[in-house]
Structure 1
Amino acid sequence: MENLKTKVIHGGISTDPTTGAVSVPIYQTSTYQQNALGQPKTYEYSRSGNPTRHALERLIADLEAGVQGFAFGSGLAGIHAVLSLFAAGDHVILADDVYGGTFRLVDKVLSRAGITYDLVDLSDLDVLKNAFKKETKAVYFETPSNPLLKVLDIQEISKIAKAHGALTLVDNTFATPYLQRPLTLGADVVLHSATKYLGGHSDVVAGLVTTNSQDLAEQIGFLQNAIGGVLGPQDSWLVQRGIKTLALRMEAHSKNASKIAEFLENSHEVAKVYYPGLASQTGHEIAQKQMAAFGGMLSFELKNEQAVKTFVESLQYFTLAESLGGVESLVEVPAVMTHASIPKNIREQIGIKDGLIRLSVGIEDISDLLSDLTQALEKAK
């Protein structure tokens, strides 16, 4: 069963082995009866394992071609567990425009434990090669990235990392396994904020991780249990339900976003558009090579930066809110919202201008979305 449109519905554990229910039940329990002293059944305590969570973990492993999956209480909890593979003195190469929360975790929390990092433009492979140190243990990046939609070559970066004895860690939140599978391109670990497209309905906060290495799986499993930021059974069930429509939603998101990107690129009020599906976008050829479609995220800059506030507050169908990946369209300004934790000088250096606008394009009727953008651009002249 290779077709992902089928696998999102039938992958993992799609029925309950006890009752035959076609929807895995919510096992709302904290502990489990043991066969005898020191002889637990399959489960013993829900931090260590829960049937509902286990079904979701099996599913993300199936979708990403991993050997084992792990579900966490948030995307950042998953990132924290994976980066806890490293110790004081270890060095991580971090893509220069990662999500602000990821940057904050590395810069303000993990640095206290002695983990060091460098922000690197991973689109320049020569720059990447020169960034390695003898202490470098991993390269961490998103592709497409948040919020500049930078497309990075997973296969080439993975080859370079392996040549230096380092792991390749890829945040696949924007693309999802329906559009891109990093493990098949050489990555070692894939991470998701399942709050976004995997859940798909803006009603759950969750993180998912998977790997194609049994050794890494054992290490991440230990860290998941030891740190304890696991996903609860109700939220695990919600994410599984969301994934069942992932294929349909990602196709709709991608179709709408492509049309909006073309519309904005041709608008007199717009200075620049960032979207992997545009032929003018740097990295477009890489996106064509490693993605099945170009996703529902895009960013752009108005020619009149002073009109950003008027524009975002004039929109009707695009809700002004953080997060992304739900069925509804959202708009945000990264410099004052999702990426505010990154110092202004670093934001400007990597291209996250104060006037950058990010859209999470939903699955509404495209004519309504285009009309909404048109009237907001008119007001923002």
Structure 2
Amino acid sequence: MYQLDTYFSQLGNKQEPSTGAVTYPVHLSTAYRHNDLHESTGFDYTRTNNPTRDTLEQGFAAIESGAGCCATSSGMAAIQLVLSLFQSNDEMIVSSDLYGGTYRLFSDYEARFQLKFTYVDPLNIQAFTDTITDKTKAIFVESVTNPLLKQVDVKALGDLLKERDILFIVDNTFLTPYLLKPLTLGADIVIHSATKYLAGHNDCLSGLVVAKDEKVYASLFQSHNASGGTLAPFDCYLLMRGLKTLPLRLDRQVETAKRLAQYLRAHPSIKQVYYLERVQ
């Protein structure tokens, strides 16, 4: 079994048998020739399937220990894709400390589509329990909240929902699967704004959604194909390039942050340092 950092570094490598290309190529074609009537190669139209995107999605689903992955055109497109699972009058319990773009999207869906969002303190597990009703369809949290950097106990929430028919959705943008894998702690869906740490070079707007269950993934795939918010082939290539160095980059960033926090704590002009040292 490979180490996790090996999965990152080898993502997409040696998977192009026709030429033996080590790095997976960028397939820009929007349409694909069939050998004969009803003889598809598995690729028909690039919105539905694209070889470069498929390679990224399959590799990242394996990293996350999920059933399947959808690569979206942005992090917000990833969250919007997850919202396609719900209907009017469904209720969702949400972390009260939340990325502003996510809050705006939730407010828009509440006003226009009658989804209900109830906000609770992400550090208070009992608050989630007390807020659940027979209309609650999902709990949505950020593993580390944006902007206040509160670390949510993903495992405790996963254990809470284990026997309940409620989807547990985790935005894991800040920690990435290198530092935390929510699907192994009880989450049903994990979301990333891949624009940030995963791509890592400030040149690739992208999002990723991974589902633990095949049925949930199938529903996400159908909506992803229907809405068309798929990630372009070249951006898939850039994201795979970035993922290869994620462990190296994060190791260095973690070490730098630790040293910076130590320096600031000892500085006489600094009253409080907000630094997250422990990851569950």
TM-score for the superposition, normalised by structure 1: 0.71
- Give the aligned residue type for 1:271: K
2:69 maps to 69
Q: Does 1:37 align with 2:37?
A: yes
Which 10-residue stretch deviates more, 152-161 or 228-237? 152-161
What is the correspondence of 1:206-225 to structure 2 with a 5 Å cutoff?
206-225=206-225
- Offset at 1:33? 0.8
1:54 maps to 54
Decide which structure has the larger Cα Rg and report it: 1
Q: Does 1:231 align with 2:200?
A: no
Distance 1:120 1:266 in 2: 34
- Offset at 1:199? 0.4
2:275 maps to 275
- Offset at 1:163? 3.5
- Offset at 1:143? 1.4
- Offset at 1:161? 2.5
1:182 maps to 182
Distance 1:112 1:14 in 2: 47
The secondary structure found in structure 1 opposite 2:85 is: coil
Structure 1 residues 14 and 99: alpha-carbon distance in aligned structure 2, compared to 1, 3 A threshold:
farther
Check the 8 A contact 2:98/2:145 in 1, yes or no.
Answer: yes
Structure 1 residues 13 and 58: alpha-carbon distance in aligned structure 2, compared to 1, 3 A threshold:
farther
1:136 maps to 136
- Offset at 1:262? 2.3
1:255 maps to 255
Distance 1:49 1:7 in 2: 23
The secondary structure found in structure 2 opposite 1:235 is: helix
- Percentage of identical aligned residues: 39
1:115 maps to 115
The secondary structure found in structure 1 opposite 2:192 is: strand
Check the 8 A contact 1:143/1:152 in 2, yes or no.
Answer: yes
Check the 8 A contact 1:138/1:161 in 2, yes or no.
Answer: no
Q: Does 1:102 align with 2:105?
A: no
What is the correspondence of 1:1-381 to structure 2 with a 5 Å cutoff?
1-11=1-11, 14-109=14-109, 111-277=111-277, 284=278, 287=279, 290=280
- Give the aligned residue type for 1:41: T
- Give the aligned residue type for 1:198: L
CA-to-partner distance for each residue in 1:29-84, whole Å, 9 max, x for gaps?
11111233344221100100100111110111011111211100001101100111
CA-to-partner distance for each residue in 1:7-47, whole Å, 9 max, x for gaps?
11224565323211011100011111123334422110010
- Give the aligned residue type for 2:43: Y
The secondary structure found in structure 2 opposite 1:162 is: coil
Higher relative contact order (CA 8 A, sep 6+): 2
Check the 8 A contact 1:189/1:210 in 2, yes or no.
Answer: yes
Distance 1:165 1:194 in 2: 29
CA-to-partner distance for each residue in 1:94-123, whole Å, 9 max, x for gaps?
111111111111112354111110111121
> Please, which runs of 5 or more residues in structure 1 have no aligned partner?
278-283, 291-381
Which 10-residue stretch deviates more, 2-11 or 165-174? 2-11
The secondary structure found in structure 1 opposite 2:216 is: helix
- Offset at 1:160? 1.6
Distance 1:137 1:170 in 2: 14
Check the 8 A contact 2:67/2:210 in 1, yes or no.
Answer: yes
- Give the aligned residue type for 1:231: L
- Give the aligned residue type for 2:187: A
Check the 8 A contact 1:12/1:58 in 2, yes or no.
Answer: no
Check the 8 A contact 1:13/1:55 in 2, yes or no.
Answer: no
Distance 1:267 1:61 in 2: 43
Structure 1 residues 50 and 13: alpha-carbon distance in aligned structure 2, compared to 1, 3 A threshold:
farther
- Give the aligned residue type for 1:269: S
Structure 1 residues 98 and 40: alpha-carbon distance in aligned structure 2, compared to 1, 3 A threshold:
same
CA-to-partner distance for each residue in 1:122-144, whole Å, 9 max, x for gaps?
21111111111111111111111
Distance 1:259 1:103 in 2: 33
The secondary structure found in structure 1 opposite 2:93 is: strand
- Offset at 1:270? 3.0
- Give the aligned residue type for 2:180: Q
The secondary structure found in structure 2 opposite 1:170 is: strand
Check the 8 A contact 1:171/1:190 in 2, yes or no.
Answer: yes
Distance 2:181 2:71 in 1: 18
